[in-house]
Structure 1
Amino acid sequence: MGVRKPLHPQQRGSKKAYLAPACFTMNKDNKYMFLKVLKGVKFPDGYASNISRHVHLKERSIWGLKSHDSHILMQQLLPIAARRTLPKNVVEVLIELANFFRQLCSKVNMPSDLENIKDRIVLTICHLEKIFPLSFFNVMEHLPIHLPEEALVAGAIQFRWMYPIERYLLTLKRYVRNRARPEASIAKGYLMEECMNFCARYLNEAETKSNRPCRNDDGGSDFGRPLGKGVKIRLDDVTWVQAHRYVLVNMDVVTPFRNQHLEMLEDEMPRRTTHYIQKVHNETFHTWFKNYVTTQRRTSNMVFSEEIISLANGPDEFARKFKGYFVNGFRFRTKKYENHRTTQNSGVVLKANTMSYASVRDQNPRSGDVTFHGVLTDIVEIRYTNTLKFVLFKCDWVDSLVGVKEDEFKFTLVNFNHLLYKENGIGDEPFILAQQARQVCYVQDPLDSDWHVVLTMTVRDLFDMYSKDSSRTPTAVPQVELYASQQLDETIYLHDKDVNWVRQGVEGTVVETDGVENLVEMEESD
């Protein structure tokens, strides 16, 4: 056909031909780096199986993956592992392909989402055809073009794909006890299963496999539930102030008092910058709040609610510490507790509305959403009264200025050597409320071990009835967090000179030939 001439065999000598490496070719070092990422990955509990068991660095191979493992590999791990081992043009197309399947397999899809990936997949397939051999493409590689159309007509694909059927066929096979009578064994096992299901639904108060709680059951409460009974600890002075101050900041009933204290500081320090006044306000408000409530009750007989009085007095110096916690559909564990486990449940992300200052002398701060990434170190329950308790997550937060960056493929990377708080000072804010936490997963970069790629986790067993669609509310959370769409060239070139077919820096292969005739046959077979 005369296409992709840079990849044609090049005759060297009378009986040798040189095969140039294609742009997607990996050498031994590239393969080792690719597998190293998969070998070291740890997902949250219940999100995926231990994929590292199926990765063999010595043989440079992967085998034994189950269907769900292949989904995780295709939708999330393939772009991360390939970003350091393949050229940019190849990685961009793989990211687009992963985004397509990740959006298609999400639990909730709006028509606008499916229309978008329907238009993008055509462009993605065209770019794949420019990179991979023509013999790679058959009906299966063409099938993704029709999948969004089917989803638009028939709905979510989870109700139409083959995996539940395959799992149920395995269940029927397990009913077989007498191999000479497989049909009778399956019928008897099925009848027994139906009887057990009837009894389980009749005795609905007893826990059975048909009504057991979900894996990460948070008790049906917005505040979650702890993992275990915990241990009683005594808070030091610094931790007590940090926890108490954060609770006061996030209580709506305290907002009028915070505004009053801030106005008082502005009147007392008219020459000070806004940044300095805000700093003093955060450090002294809890003391002023307690003195103000006590003084007003004693001198003017002002009436405050029991909640305000309890918050002003502060929490008990004794608290309860847990090693794990269920909240928002996630299971969290402290970093210390999971050091020797094959799962990762300590990644925390918080999107908070904060005041940003250009400098210390900035008089016009801007309010906006800032995303903070961290690792969970402690889970503490503080008690104001027997009915007024708060569970706080203490985290090591990464400095967003120097510890967070975005690579050329729009992946977010964090560096835990650049922490926001290092001295554990009284003015630090390491705590957040448990119900504010969302879970992320960190995958180590194979070239620079200090940097980690951030993967946003979705809630297990729950359906988010909102989407990224602009017609929904502004606070709606997308069901699936996609990578930023790569800016693929929308003009599909047809000339070989417009594409880098051969990969630079990788050795090709020299093969034995018997002359020009065999060389021509090799070209035709390619």
Structure 2
Amino acid sequence: MKKPFMFLSLIIPGPKSPKGNLDVFLQPLIEELKLLWEIGLPTYDISNKQSFQMKVALLWTVSDFPAYGILSGWTTAGKLACSYCMENTKAFTLKNGGKQSWFDYHRQFLSHNHVFRKNKSAFRKDTVENSSPPPRLSGEEVSNRVSLLPKTTECIRNEGKRPEWYGILHHWTKQSVFWELPYWRKLLIRHNLDVMHIEKNVFDNAFHTIMEVKGKTKDDLKARKDMKVYCKRRKLETRVVLDSKGGKKILNPNAPFMLPKEKRKLICEWVKKLKFPDGYASNLDLLPLNVWNVITELSQFFRDLCSTTLKVNHVVRLEENIPEIICKLERIFPPGFFNSMEHLPIHLPYEAKVGGPVQYRRMYPCESLFEEQMMRECGYQSLEEVWIKSEDEYPNWFKEYVLGKGINNDIIRSLSFGPLTRVRKFKQYHINGFHFHAFEYGKNKSTMKYGICVKRSQGKDFYGILQEVIELTYVGARKRYTTVLFKCDWFDIGHGTRIHEKYNLVEVNHIRRYPKLIERMVRSRGGLNGRIIIRPRTANPSRPISQSSQDENPDFALEVHNSSQNEEQSIEYNSNHHEEGRDADLDVDTSEIEEEAEFLHETGNPEATQILHKTEGLW
């Protein structure tokens, strides 16, 4: 599917949105979808060079929350806004604020022996929670409920006229046109809750309240009055005091979740200069610890939920954690803070478990032991001296080793002879779904795309600044191979980083850096599929490899790191087993090409490893 055909555009005439009458304009689409499901469409398969009858099904819709109501027929406003909880909601109207609140609604999603259920003071005062979460209806059950409702396509719906018991037992306004699809009732998810908009609204509410943004904060005078009605938080209740002229003035005590003016100014100055990659943060310890902890847990929930790879056990963990996270928020923020957007995250793990990773359902459309040997035999003291010596001696050693062993693999032989002297340089580079800028090119831009993070299987990850992107060309007997080098300045992870023990947030000291190191990231014609490390089997380059058994002592060991499955596997390559006319027979499924470089300062005997990566056309 090419980009120009990704979206189906529909132009609707008239000065106003059709809202619930949108079904009238969707009717032609529904008729075509019914034909594509029942009869199909003759389609040519280029791979098999033959035609077949293609059948098509609409899997689900993706929209923001108001459009969710238009498409599904369930109004997404008011106490019954949640289409999962439906009439089983415990949302209520605030006495002073006059808006709907989902405060103290989420203890029922906790385990029955959870300590929060019996707490009478931290949530709604003098209230315990013994009920179970609302049942989740199947598509068949929902279909039976809407079957008697009128269709928009039969008569234009009058917005002022609602079905019987609307707002009390249900929030249905119509029978959606999508129910005409014969398979619609069989789907587990028909309309997706959009994670992007939910995350944005949750962030906005929290940020505006913490920063006390006038007109947007959820902690105003009415909220404090409601807090007195529903909560036991006497320290935060409004007080009447006398001003300098003897008049009465209502005073709101400072809440622990609100930053004072000087700290708000500090946050604004920090955000103005902030340029961090996703998932990393710094200087967030201005709030009280209990508030900071729950805000961090909420942030990590959305980060984990939006991961490109999801495992069932991870989603189950998210489903168990989110009720407790929301309950912790309820212990801190006022009842007016909890509108429908603060409630909807409770259902997001279920949709991820059924529908898969969020990126398909939301609206957001890349060791040799040579240096260790050198350090052990020559006694170099500094890491920089090791690298200087490595750069001088390693290429010659590698070439002599390959030629001396008679290795015929075209890739390895081309690497041993070195690249052409003519290179290409890039100011920006797109690889494996990520877009990088060289530092000089991107330093004045509003977003940071020159930060590099190299994941390690054990120990701390590496962080650096991308300085140059260079493409080298290696000429083999059969073809040319290209490899892209990322030249980076690396931060000292031994003394220049700090990681929060509980939440794994990373702070980086930009002053402390390692000596120069080139990070190699590789581009292949078929796309980036893995990280492959090629190294000699022997730890000592001067010591010959045992010839007693070629199968037991192959010339090279290739470690394939499959990042999509978080697994590692080792594959042995023996030059004598290589067949003439084809590359090494390595049938592996990999997902990301990276380079890993290791530095060990703690032992007093620093060690660096240099990695050779796969190049274009290797597998």
Normalising to structure 1: TM-score of the pair?
0.46
- Whose helix proportion is higher, 1 or 2? 1
Greater relative contact order, per chain length (Cα 8 Å cut-off, separation 6+): 1
